[in-house]
Structure 1
Amino acid sequence: MEELYPAIEPFRTGQLDVGDGHLVHWETSGNPDGKPVVVLHGGPGSGLTPLSRRHFDPSAYLIVQFDQRGSGRSTPSITEPEVDLSANTTWHLVADLELLREHLGIDRWQVFGGSWGATLALAYAETHPGRVSEIVLRGVFTARKSELDWIYRDGASRVYPDAWGDYLAPIPEAERDDPLAAYHRLAYHPDRGVREAAAIAWSAWEGAIVSLVPQPSYLQNYSRPGFALSFARIALHYFSHGAWLDDGQLIRDAAKLTGIPGVLVQGRYDVVCPPITAWELHQAWPGSELQLLNTAGHAVNDLGVLAGLRAATDRFR
């Protein structure tokens, strides 16, 4: 963990009214006059974390974080089944980013994200390339059908058959040919007990496979009911709709990023987001740099990941 900068606290926080009845929680840390960077959390639904601001030199960067709609301290919460999700899509989040940038008086900012955060980073940057100074991505994910099938239908299951058995356990035998659809039904079941059990099993699957060497702490954290319910319900909402993207759109449109410096930090043995996606994005994005780490899976603390991220943010500061 020596590749992280020391822990810091936000110097300013707020709630931004982004419309549709949503208030988005945001916070800034580091140097108020520094180089702006916006940090996009994963999931979708996981919420911002204090660790993520430690990828940046606090004397050089103005670090912006926010909880995406339905996540963390943003409201309304998604934990109850009656919450209307019609105004919680990828394109609502892209619009929220622009509102937040304008609210904070920032002209251009670096965009930093991992996993789902990488998906949102690409969607935003391809929509507003003139507002992006650089992009740093970890564990690249673009929400293609092939990527979703790999983790939730057939692929990762062949690497972790034991954890896959636990993942399938809540699903009736007749529905196991489409686990994504089955879990979406269970996570929005009217019985709270059914919802919570399904959310924990869904979330625990990712916790079991996220790091190159399985770490009990990940499984424990992903299995916490308070985290799992929000994480599973938002992720299933997004993934059941293909994240409102044309299949392959973010790689197809990567030429829009021409001229924006970008670094892709990718574990070669990432079972959650296999490196083929990072490779194909790199091929389609002129001038991007791909770092394939032979010592890492998907987890941010797998060997080499933190060092790769810090080298990128230090270079761009």
Structure 2
Amino acid sequence: MTDEANSEVKGELTNGETAKPAGEPLPAFEDGLLDVGDGHAVYWRAQGPRDAPVMLLVHGGPGGAMNLKWADVLDASKWRMVFFDQRGCGKSTPFGKLEHNGTNDLIGDMEKLRVALGIEKWALFGGSWGTTLALSYGVTHPERCLGFLLRGIFLARKEDIDWFLWDVQRVFPDAHRVFLDAIETASGQRPRNAAEILALTGAPLARFDDAGIKLARAWSGFEATLSVVNKPASKKAADPTQKDESKGEASAIAAQTDAAQTIATPPEAPKADPAQAEPPTPEATREANAAAISMSLLEHHYMAQELPPEPLLPRVSRIAHLPCVLVHGRFDMVCPADQAQALADVWPGAQLSIVDAAGHWTFEPGNVTALKAGGEYLARTLAAKPTPTQIPTSTLG
């Protein structure tokens, strides 16, 4: 567990607005903890020009964390970027808390963050579960949205969850078998369908003991294996530029995903080797264990208790007038590409890019190229139709 697991909830918003001596440069970023109620505080970070349109970056999971490398696919001179860790994960507190942790709670947190930071409207960039949450926020608060950049679409329907938990074994029978083995070891029973996976994993994941950590890492390793098609050249996990996301060692958690996404380091090489799905707990770092626990625990919680949400596709008409770019790897095994096509079919103005030779991971080369083009398109579109993004600072109190 990370130190955040035992941190006290901080109730003040610290946004770096304190007076600076004349001539002192502005900080590279501002951050803080926002008390959102129900015993939760959400960690946020903002960077980039204050007069630029705002892009809210919505991480995956549930249970991932902000991934600052997502900023690399956006032009830093054209966007004010706001990151945040969702309830129960990353630097938000308390760590791993499931109470008052649901889709509507997260939508409410996003809106509270917008108000607290004095932002009138913002665009949303989401990946995997981050697309589910970005769309859910959008159809709830369409008047607060400028546009969308969405990668690895996850509509969170029953068939989408069943694919990830069960049906994907038609493509990854070996990885799925390793996953089921780990569940059987932790629970004493072998799941026979997706519903039984959820029924048998809840209690072990919630224990935070060695068996629960092993199961969490097996869950994360399974997802990592599904996530990458066109893996990058091997790089040392110690390279600070390689910190990533996700839905094991930290490198496996990296790829975890965006589905179910976003955590620590990009994958060096997803493997079917059981050691990748269930690395020895003594060798694991606290940070890697915490990342695996938060991802698997919160993914399980949402899949078992919160999903599917109210269907998203019938509500897209509320935001269909806004610019949207959809990027999806053709060989995404976490979130199959039919989800992106289904969304594009009800959003006539959306630009859909299905990327060949790419999977679920954000940083596969084809996905990066398409996301950079999508970010440029949104920036140009918004520049042609200026929209206020900041509430005057006097209203911040």
Same fold (TM over 0.5): yes
Going from structure 1 to structure 2, the CA distance change for 1:18 and 1:311 (only over 3 Å counts) comes to same
1:245-260 alignment runs, 5 A limit: 245-246=309-310, 249-260=311-322
Q: Is the 2:220–2:253 Cα contact (8 Å) retained in structure 1?
A: no
1:97-136 alignment runs, 5 A limit: 97-136=110-149
Cα distance in structure 2, aligned partners of 1:314 and 1:220: 30
Corresponding residue for 1:176?
A: 192
Matching of residue 282 in structure 1 with residue 341 in structure 2: no
Corresponding residue for 1:61?
A: 79
Q: Please, which of 338, 355, 379 is the counterpart of residue 293 of structure 1? A: 355
Percent identical among aligned pairs is 36
Q: Please, which of 79, 84, 95 is the counterpart of residue 77 of structure 1? A: 95
Q: Is the 1:183–1:202 Cα contact (8 Å) retained in structure 2?
A: no
Q: Is the 1:199–1:228 Cα contact (8 Å) retained in structure 2?
A: yes
Corresponding residue for 1:200?
A: 217
Matching of residue 16 in structure 1 with residue 80 in structure 2: no
Q: Is the 2:253–2:292 Cα contact (8 Å) retained in structure 1?
A: no
Corresponding residue for 1:4?
A: none
How far off is 1:252 after superposition?
2.0
SS in structure 2 opposite 1:175?
Answer: coil
Corresponding residue for 2:5?
A: none
Q: Deviations over 1:244-282 (max 9, x none)?
A: 613xx1112111122111110011111100001110111
Give, as a single letter, the amino acid of the residue that structure 2 aligns with 1:262.
Answer: C
Matching of residue 90 in structure 1 with residue 120 in structure 2: no
SS in structure 2 opposite 1:290?
Answer: strand
Cα distance in structure 2, aligned partners of 1:10 and 1:152: 41
Higher percent of residues as strand? 1
Corresponding residue for 1:157?
A: 169
Moved more, 295-304 or 59-68: 295-304
Cα distance in structure 1, aligned partners of 2:253 and 2:84: 24
Q: Is the 1:67–1:74 Cα contact (8 Å) retained in structure 2?
A: yes
SS in structure 2 opposite 1:72?
Answer: coil
Q: Is the 2:157–2:308 Cα contact (8 Å) retained in structure 1?
A: no
Give, as a single letter, the amino acid of the residue that structure 2 aligns with 1:296.
Answer: A
Q: Normalized against structure 1, the TM-score is what?
A: 0.90
Q: Deviations over 1:90-144 (max 9, x none)?
A: 1100001110111111111010100000000000001011111110100000111
Q: Please, which of 344, 354, 367 is the counterpart of residue 305 of structure 1? A: 367
Aligned-residue RMSD, C-alpha:
1.8
Corresponding residue for 2:291?
A: 227
- How many residue pairs get aligned? The number is 300
Cα distance in structure 2, aligned partners of 1:175 and 1:214: 30
Q: Is the 1:47–1:71 Cα contact (8 Å) retained in structure 2?
A: yes
Matching of residue 266 in structure 1 with residue 328 in structure 2: yes
Q: Please, which of 156, 160, 167 is the counterpart of residue 143 of structure 1? A: 156
Going from structure 1 to structure 2, the CA distance change for 1:314 and 1:214 (only over 3 Å counts) comes to closer
Q: Is the 2:150–2:326 Cα contact (8 Å) retained in structure 1?
A: yes
Q: Is the 1:34–1:60 Cα contact (8 Å) retained in structure 2?
A: yes
Give, as a single letter, the amino acid of the residue that structure 1 aligns with 2:198.
Answer: L
Q: Is the 2:103–2:306 Cα contact (8 Å) retained in structure 1?
A: no
1:18-37 alignment runs, 5 A limit: 18-37=36-55
Structure 1: state its 5+ residue gaps.
1-8
How far off is 1:220 after superposition?
5.8
Cα distance in structure 2, aligned partners of 1:99 and 1:264: 26
How far off is 1:180 after superposition?
2.5
Cα distance in structure 2, aligned partners of 1:54 and 1:67: 18
Q: Is the 1:259–1:287 Cα contact (8 Å) retained in structure 2?
A: yes
